[in-house]
């Protein structure tokens, strides 16, 4: 799962570290899409 949260019955809610890891992953994917679509230029 994104951010490392496995959502097992015995687990509590995700902590701030799991949420942060998921957010960083999401932002990386967002930048990858921008690069793929040509939204970012060099120079």
**Under a CB-based contact definition with an 8 Å cutoff, are residues 19 and 3 in contact?**
yes
What is d(CA 41, CA 14) in angstroms, rounded to the nearest whole number?
37
Say if residues 25 and 2 touch (Cβ distance below 8 Å): yes
pTM of the model: 0.62
Residue with tokens 């890891």: 21
Chain segment 1-43, per-residue pLDDT in tens: 666 667 788 878 878 888 888 899 999 999 888 888 886 666 5
């Amino acid at each position: 799962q994104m951010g490392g949260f496995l959502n097992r019955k015995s687990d509590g809610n995700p902590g701030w570290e799991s949420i942060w890891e998921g957010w960083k992953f999401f932002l990386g994917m967002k930048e990858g899409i921008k690069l793929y679509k040509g939204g970012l230029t060099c120079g």
